[in-house]
Structure 1
Amino acid sequence: MPILHLLIVTIACTAWAAAGEPAPVVDLSGFAADSGVTVGQVGGTLMLDWPIAAGRQGRLVLRVGGGEPLIASLGLGEGAAIISEADPFYVLTVGKRILDKQTGWTVFFDSPYTRPYQHSAATLARSAYTVTSLGRSVSVTIAGLSAGVFAGDLRFTVWAGCPLVRQEAVVATTEGDVALSYGAGLTARTPSWDGVAWRDNHDTWQHASEHGTGASQPVATRLRTVIAESAHGSLAAFPAPHQFFYPLDFADNFAFNLVGRGYGKVFDTPAFGIRQSIDGDRRHVPWVNAPPGSQQHLGVFYLLSPGDAQHTYAEVATYTHGDAYVPLPGYHTFTSHYHIEHTLDLMRAQRDQQTTGIPKGFEQPAFIDVFRHLGIDIAHLAEFHVGETPNLADGPRLAQLAVLHGECRRLSGDGFLLLPGEEPNVHLGGHWISFFPKPVNWVLNRPAGTPFSAQVADVGTVYHVGSPADVQALFEQEHGLFWTAHPRIKASGGQPDSYQATPFFHSPNFLGGTWKAMPADLSLPRLGTRSLDLLDDMANWGERKQVLGEADLFKIMLDYEVYAHLNINYLQLPKVPTFDQPWTPILETLRAGRFFTTTGEMLITAFEIGGKGSGEELALPASGATIVRAHLAWTFPPAFAEVVWGDGVAVHRQRVDLSRQPAFAATDLAIPVVMPGATWARFAAWDVAVDGAFTQPVWMVR
């Protein structure tokens, strides 16, 4: 067990100053009345009123200075407080980051929880209040927040036309090697809410007794949400659906919410909110990067609703489409990189049950139900991610492939396609993924004297690969694709950079790399910058490569928190092939870059530069002037879109502010750009929860 140091401090965000000291100044110079939010100072309080929907108002009343609870009330307008006399709380768990010798802060194989760490509850001095507007939003920033080695501000943000309130601790540290996890929410000495409810990860509604004042407990929920109920409505607490979650191999539901008294053993008042797991799956548990000086935004969202918990839950669900990917005309959803090891588990069960058929318990695997619920049309596996696979002889290897191919055929159908794939991890350096347009039999070693390919009775063509040249020849002959798994991190820390000059990297069958929100850093306005930087770098190298979204998850079960760790690729594909049809259209779409990748909340349903879509060539005028057009749709209030382009040396960005757009809307953008010397350009968009979407590049020709 790690040594646990507890820093016991005053209950979160309480008293401002000793009696008799002057009230802090409220700076309103950055407030704009055209935001749609009304701000006023009334009797020692700061009041925000804003429209939520037709006939419905939100109201947040904050105390300015004084020793009473910071939140006088939060609810649905005059006389309709859902929460009153409450304080925000933060508990930071801070440990030491072991930086990677090769990649620095781009680290996954680290587990700070195995070393001494410290719990710190935040205190708030309430030394100054600043009100600012950005588009349709208004923020109140309160100075004087501190928690252990972190210091900064507390911030509340509301959006006109939206029932959301975002609470953030915006903090930084000067320490040089820090990783963190956190919990956040609301607490009160005497709760104003009647109870706290949630839908658990087995889809059963649960309720905390005694106003949620029992002993603090982590709770595993659907939608990562707990809901406080009162006479005037309900308030849901939930995190950003993807940004909040540091990467793990396993997507178990590690109880990301909390209810009750005594959270973290650093304060003893009743509370509810969100929490990050300290020990995760107990494999590699990297927490969140906090480089020195970076402004970490430790957020929690609240949703105000006039209904009960179940009604409010349904409102929360709309922000993630019920944790599913919506169908789009002309597109089909594709996901890749799952170490489910269904094949090996099934073969083991066959031996245990002494059967050659489908073993009991494997008739309908849970992961198939999960994929279908998520709205996934095509799922591409990464099986046999075990150490013995590269050394297997022909017999056991071909037996495994036969079961893999047979199970993918059996479990496909009704518009869903399960495709075989592997993460072989030999011959090239680092880890990589294989994808063929049909079942292919190949052995990952080639003993001396073994031919590259041979005909085997009752099997057909069998390939043996023992070198990078063999791998390249196989994928070119079978028209497959292969790409770097988790580039620049994990066991691919140096890839694909280390082999960018090799023949196989230049092959059109080598697709490029993958995108996932890894590592976590809450100071950044985008997810997965590691992979986005790779996409831009490869384009500047002069390589027409793609980066597709990957899951990189082990096992999928019905009670897991899968959506938070996922992204999806929307392929421009007229239909999903059946298992026994060639899968060539899928591979051709990926190779051509005719897709966009998203967390799910932001959708790029149309995109072109100068009339050309992603993967196409554009004859850019010498001036570099053209028009970027895109159709966007979203759920959370949008933050910004950007055109990203390169000239073979540098990467350039043109940002488009979307802060005046409402939640749950869509827009057509026509962006004039001047990109002198551009060789490629792409498009991306992000929302206030740091959910986003990006396209593949358009290639410029002269």
Structure 2
Amino acid sequence: MKTLVASLALAFAASAASADPLTCNTSGYKAQPGLTAAVADNTLTVTWDGEKNREVRLRFTLNDGTPTIRDLAVRAKGGSWATLAAGVTAEYRVVSGLRRATDQQLKPLQALGIPITPKVLDEIRWEAFWDSPLNVPGDSVAHGGATPPVAGIADQPGLPRKASEVTRAAAAYQVRSCDVKTNGARIEVSFPGVQLGVFSGRLEYTVYKGSSLIRQAIVAKTDERAVAYKYDGGLKGLAIQPATEMVWRSNTSNQWIDYQFGGAKNDAPVPLKTANRLIAAQVPGGSIAAFPPPHNFFWSRETEFNLGYNWYRKDSPSSFAFGVRQAEGEEDPAWQGHGPEDRRQNFALYSARPGPTRATITTSRYPATR
């Protein structure tokens, strides 16, 4: 264990020495007992009181414009810091498509004699239910004609959908500074300069006095007119060590499952149908759990099947990533035994109105010592 701590300390020192200059605006920050932030040697250190007489510490640097968690550590008050992660970065991927208004919305307006204009479409498209923007070609009519009009209407294109409507992107960081604010019993750290497909905005971390919870989010906006989207989020660059494993509870068997990073690396994230949308990385000295926001993670659907809301990925023999995800569509309804209607036409995604309205893409972390 001493050798491990020494090697991590050396890695920390090398990371800080090669980090980009970090300037933080702290005009909105107010120190209070058990909730502090400080900038020194191009490193932002946030320390706060967690649960059960523990302290939690996050140290941030910038590396090639990318906000980097130099280390995440936990300790009992007065004890030694246990480092749970070092040199890790936020990973976000987004898939966006074209939001269409549906006949379920349009037919009642037409029955009232209301002309369907581009302005009307811009007002109502955000409440679409029988839309499925990533279902290409997706040109079959479902649910008694509730889907988008096949022939199109006003300036809304008809069906089938085109592959060119779908955009896939990973977060790209060009961060040069940060903002640190106190908001009651929490500290909010934001890094402006993030591009995520059609979105631009900031990476944000929020910590809470009295809790070990860490909220990681991208807060962004788009100027595109009719965007629907889904996202995956997590952490990458975590070290695989002898005691490292992923742990989750199966949604189907209710049994605990562990994965110890044997075998080849993964070329893509491995989706998991976990119970409670929760996955944990057990590492020497503790664990880090990841889960989505509990109240706004799901959009409305016709079915309630678990589509796999967590993921892990072994990137190399020494590195892994994990987090939360959304599927791109419903599973085959025939395979689910759910009847003849194709409910893959009902997968509306999140809506992103253009302009100052911002989309929040959130994952949460819960670090704990053993």
Bigger share in strand:
2
2:338 paired with 1:287: no
Match of 2:46 in 1: 48
How do 1:191-590 residues align onto structure 2 when only pairs under 5 Å count?
191=240, 194-201=244-251, 202-210=253-261, 214-215=265-266, 216-261=269-314, 270-281=320-331, 282-293=344-355, 294-307=357-370
Percent identity of the aligned residues?
A: 28
Shift in CA distance, 67/283, structure 1 to aligned 2, threshold 3 Å = closer
- Over 3 Å counting, the alpha-carbon distance change for 1:67 and 1:286 in structure 2 is closer
Question: Contact 1:198–1:227 at 8 Å: present in 2 too?
Answer: yes
- Asked whether 1:126 is paired with 2:178, we answer no
Work out which of the residue numbers 147, 158, 162 in structure 1 matches 2:211.
162
C-alpha distance after superposition, 1:21-67 (max 9, x if no partner)? 97242101101113741111233211111001242011111114556
Contact kept in structure 2, 1:129 and 1:140, CA below 8 Å: yes
Assess if the C-alpha contact under 8 Å between 1:35 and 1:135 holds in 2.
no
Aligned-pair CA distance for 1:85: 1.3
> What per-residue deviation string (whole Å, max 9, x for no partner) do you get for residues 69-125 of structure 1?
701111314531111111110000111111344533111110011143122000111
Q: CA deviation at 1:283?
A: 3.8
Deviations 1:398-423 (A, max 9, x none): xxxxxxxxxxxxxxxxxxxxxxxxxx
Which residue of 1 is the match for residue 147 of structure 2? none
Q: Is 1:147 aligned to residue 163 of structure 2?
A: no
Contact 1:234–1:304, Cα closer than 8 Å, also in 2: yes
Contact (CA 8 Å) 1:171, 1:297: kept in 2 or not?
yes
CA offsets 1:661-700 (integer angstroms, 9 cap, x no match): xxxxxxxxxxxxxxxxxxxxxxxxxxxxxxxxxxxxxxxx
Q: Distance in 1 between matches of 2:175 and 2:28?
A: 19
Contact 1:171–1:295 (CA<8 Å) still a contact in 2? yes
Report the CA distance between 1:189 and its aligned residue.
Answer: 6.7
**1:156 and 1:257, CA in 2 relative to 1: closer, same or farther beyond 3 A?**
same
Q: CA deviation at 1:271?
A: 1.2
Contact 1:195-1:211 within 8 A present in 2 as well: no
- Counterpart contact for 2:191–2:204, Cα < 8 Å: yes
Separation in structure 2 between the aligned mates of residue 211 and residue 153 of structure 1, nearest angstrom: 36
* Partner secondary structure for residue 327 of structure 2: coil
1:121–1:147 CA contact under 8 A, matched in 2:
yes
Calculate the TM-score normalised by the size of structure 1.
0.38
Contact 1:24 1:126 in 2 (8 A): no
The residue type equivalent to 1:183 in the other structure is D
- CA shift for structure 1 position 191: 4.1
The change in CA–CA distance for 1:235 and 1:22 in structure 2 (over 3 A counts) is closer
Q: Which protein has the larger Cα radius of gyration, Structure 1 or Structure 2?
A: 1
Report how far residue 280 of structure 1 moved: 2.6
Q: Which moved more, 1:111-120 or 1:69-78?
A: 69-78
CA deviation vs aligned residue, 1:572-601 (integer Å, no higher than 9, x gap): xxxxxxxxxxxxxxxxxxxxxxxxxxxxxx
In structure 2, do the counterparts of structure 1 residues 303 and 211 end up closer, same or farther at CA, with 3 Å as the change threshold?
farther
Aligned in 2, Cα 1:291/1:43: closer, same or farther, shift over 3 Å? Answer: same
Distance 1:229 1:168 in 2: 22
Note if 1:91 corresponds to 2:93: yes
Aligned-partner residue type, residue 326 of structure 2: Q
Helix, strand or coil at the partner of 2:134: helix
Confirm or deny: 8 A CA contact 2:174 2:194 kept in the other structure: yes
Whether the 8 Å contact between 1:213 and 1:270 is mirrored in structure 2 is no
Give the partner amino acid of 1:306.
T
Considering Cα pairs closer than 8 Å and 6+ residues apart, tell me whether 1 or 2 has the greater RCO. Answer: 2
User: Which residue identity lines up with residue 58 of structure 1 in the other structure?
Assistant: V
The answer (yes or no) to whether the contact 1:35–1:160 under 8 Å persists in 2 is no
The CA deviation at 1:211 is 7.5
Distance apart, 1:177 and its partner CA = 0.5
Cα deviation, residue 212, structure 1:
9.8
Match for residue 369 of structure 1?
none
Segments of structure 1 that go 5 or more residues without pairing to the other structure are: 1-18, 263-268, 308-702
